[in-house]
Amino acid sequence: MEFIAPLDALFLLAESREHPMHVGSLQLFEPPEDAGPNYLREFRDTLLADQTCRPTFRKRPATWLGAPQLAWTQDAEVDLDYHVKRSALPAPGRMGQLLDHASTLHSALLDRHRPLWELHFVEGLADGRFALYSKMHHALIDGVSAQRLLRRTLTTEPSNAPMPPWNLPRKERARAPRKDRGGLLGGLAAASSSTAALMKATRTGLLQQQLTLPFEAPRTLFNVPIGGARTCAVRSWSMDRIKQVKKATGTTVNDVVLAMSAGALRGYLLERDALPDKPMIALVPMSLRDADDTDTQGVKIAALLCNLGTDIADPLARLQTVSESTRRNKEVYRSLTPAQTLAVAGLMLSPMAAMLLPGFASMGTPPFNIVISNVPGARESLYWNGSRLDASYPLSIPLDGQAVNITLTSNGDNLDFGLVGCRRTLPDLHRLLDHLEDSLAAMEDAAA
């Protein structure tokens, strides 16, 4: 039996019917030209022939000394027929129908009596493509490691044999033994043992650099208690368009993405006469994983808080505000030791942990307005069983008091955006996609 790291356990303890705590992905594939009518059934059967599951795919929460969610146990046998499912959309097989289906799947809780993951193959799209919806509990995996896991199932050669996600070959790498086995909060406990380190982190990070702090955000229509039903909206944008704005303004791709999101949020709220006078604040997760970290267990994230400049009408002035805010916050982290980084990261993430607790969303001032996450993806064309990956839309977690989440990833020449919202609060979530396009176009026109 393995103890659950404190931050990972929090995602289990905070989960309820209204607050599912899994991360997901919706991938679209173009089958090979010679694919027959039984292609997807045969593909699934080929994957299921491999019944060996790695430890992450055998884990489920256990009760230890009468207390639930404190330790993991591993199933000796995994019912892959349950975890790997196949379905078809009814005619005419439009993208909207697929998103409705994905929204329903993303709203459902994972079964705690089984390992906490599912894969759903979906056929019947009118254009001949098929989809893969996948989800894993956030206690098992974070967004970066989930993206890397999916990436490792794919190959750059169409002819390579397909690999099942649950039994990928291990990727060994040379590194020093890990001393921190307790996740982020375990690291915080170690960091707190050094009073001098914490004092220096606070002085450098918060006073000298004027780090954006929690609870400076205005309340918006997004910052309300949410229900359990989800709605998903997805769209892809050309990376070239983002890079052209980046080049013309001397900013970064992530700055442009955040400003694009800021403009969309501003437009959405203006449309409803609900734009606050104060700028909205976004929590932007940052991975603490090394580039070659292949460990897929647990959560390893820090975060910065970004001023989105939603009170600014001029798109380039808004972009510069975003860029300055992210630059200043990143300078804080670059100036710190690993122990200090954990201390400041804990300060930034502590409101997020508190938001997982019941009733927190009803407090007067939200710690931030929205989570916007940019997860690195692949730049080359990828294949699975000869099928080309066309799009990979990440689907994350709206928190209580955070009715929408924006997550994106790079995929070839595109940036794939996945928006997940509370269905009750944001029945017209797709309108944010139109505002994202309008926001990017406004920056392009202004930078031309």
- The rounded distance, in Å, linking the Cα atoms of 147 and 307 is 27
Least confident stretch, 95-99, 163-167, 288-292, 313-317: 288-292
**Residue 19 appears among annotated catalytic residues:** no
Residues 373-408: b if buried by 16+ CB within 10 A, e if exposed: bbbebbeeebbbbbbbbbbbbbbbbbbbbbbbbbbb
Model confidence pLDDT, tens digit, residues 229-265: 999 999 999 999 999 999 999 999 999 999 999 999 9
User: What is the chain's length?
Assistant: 448
Give the per-residue pLDDT at 181: 39
The pair of structure tokens assigned to 433 is 């996609």
Give the per-residue pLDDT at 379: 86
CA angle 20, 21, 22 (to 5 degrees): 105
Asked if 406 and 261 count as a contact pair (C-beta separation under 8 A), the reply is yes
Residue 331 banded pLDDT, cuts 50, 70, 90 = confident
Predicted TM-score (pTM) of this structure: 0.87
Decide: helix, strand or coil at residue 92.
Answer: coil
Backbone angles phi, psi at 20, to 5 degrees: -60, 140
Asked if 285 and 143 count as a contact pair (C-beta separation under 8 A), the reply is yes
Name the residue ranges covered by the structural domains of the chain. 2-153, 195-381+391-447
The pair of structure tokens assigned to 371 is 């989570």
Model confidence pLDDT, tens digit, residues 181-217: 344 444 444 434 444 554 555 555 444 444 555 567 9
DSSP labels, 17-43 = TTB--EEEEEEEEE--TT--TTHHHHH
Q: Is the pLDDT of residue 402 over 60?
A: yes
- The rounded distance, in Å, linking the Cα atoms of 275 and 168 is 47
More confident residue, 65 or 136: 136
Residue 150 banded pLDDT, cuts 50, 70, 90 = confident
Catalytic pick from 113, 138, 430, 435?
A: 138
Whole-number Cα distances in Å, 440 to 255, 268, 309, 437: 12, 14, 15, 5
More confident residue, 69 or 366: 366
DSSP labels, 232-245 = EEEEEEEHHHHHHH
Quick one: fold of 195-381+391-447?
Chloramphenicol Acetyltransferase (3.30.559)
2-153 in CATH: which number? Answer: 3.30.559.10
